[in-house]
Amino acid sequence: MLNVALPKGRLGEKVYAMFEAAGYECPSIKENNRKLIFENEEKQVRYFWVKPSDVAIYVERGAADIGVAGKDILLEYAPDVYELLDLDLGKCRMAVAAPCDFHDDGQKTLKVATKFTNIAANYYASLGREIDIIKLNGSIEIAPILKLSDVIVDIVETGTTLKENNLEVKSTIVPISARLISNKSSFKFKGTDIEKIVESIKNQVKNND
């Protein structure tokens, strides 16, 4: 039985469609109910919906053999998993944004507000820039407006929210998209099934290009 952790929400539904097209369908998942685990005995596959940021934990700990997680989560928590495929879905970027008139002259410690403290710390360490990280859990955009921080490090999709708050992208740290991940041990013992899925989804991604 192959256990698959899917992220709840629209991204998860798109990803399930890819698994279905790969021949690992599970019709009960489309029933309108509040169940979280769905199984197709014949296809030897079990899907479960989990919070998107938890997928990597389920996979790393082996509760799921494979799953789909955003690159932002993989960079932030650095789970010990294989990252087998870029699904080219949920594309956005991790960026540094600041008020349009902000200029970093490098003369003082830079105050950085973010949900992604590890990504921010690693990025500025690579630049040798001293920073003060302010961990926030939401509404990151208001931090520079209220002078809580100089800049923010956050996911930018279209840039509309930034624009509406008079912020702009100052630099891109890394492109983000959904990735197919596998538990390392599961890959050793269920590798044939996992490779079959990866190959099929890889072709679907290519055809969508």
Site residues (vs other proteins, CB under 8 A): 60-62, 80-86, 175, 183-189, 191
* Chain centre to alpha carbon of residue 192: 25
Q: Min. distance of Cβ 21 from other proteins in angstroms?
A: 20
Q: Min. distance of Cβ 10 from other proteins in angstroms?
A: 22
Cα(68)–Cα(4) distance, integer angstroms: 8
* Helix, strand, coil content of the chain in percent (nearest 5): 35, 30, 30
Question: Closer to other proteins at the Cβ: 96 or 167?
Answer: 96
Question: Closer to other proteins at the Cβ: 6 or 81?
Answer: 81
Question: Closer to other proteins at the Cβ: 15 or 85?
Answer: 85
Q: Min. distance of Cβ 12 from other proteins in angstroms?
A: 21
Cα(44)–Cα(25) distance, integer angstroms: 10
Q: Min. distance of Cβ 126 from other proteins in angstroms?
A: 8
> Quick one: CA torsion of 138, 141, 142, 145, rounded to 10 degrees?
160
Going across the sheet that includes 178-183, the strands are 37-40, 45-50, 2-7, 66-70, 178-183, 81-86
3-state secondary structure of 154: strand
Question: Closer to other proteins at the Cβ: 65 or 154?
Answer: 65
Question: Closer to other proteins at the Cβ: 9 or 191?
Answer: 191
Q: Min. distance of Cβ 178 from other proteins in angstroms?
A: 12
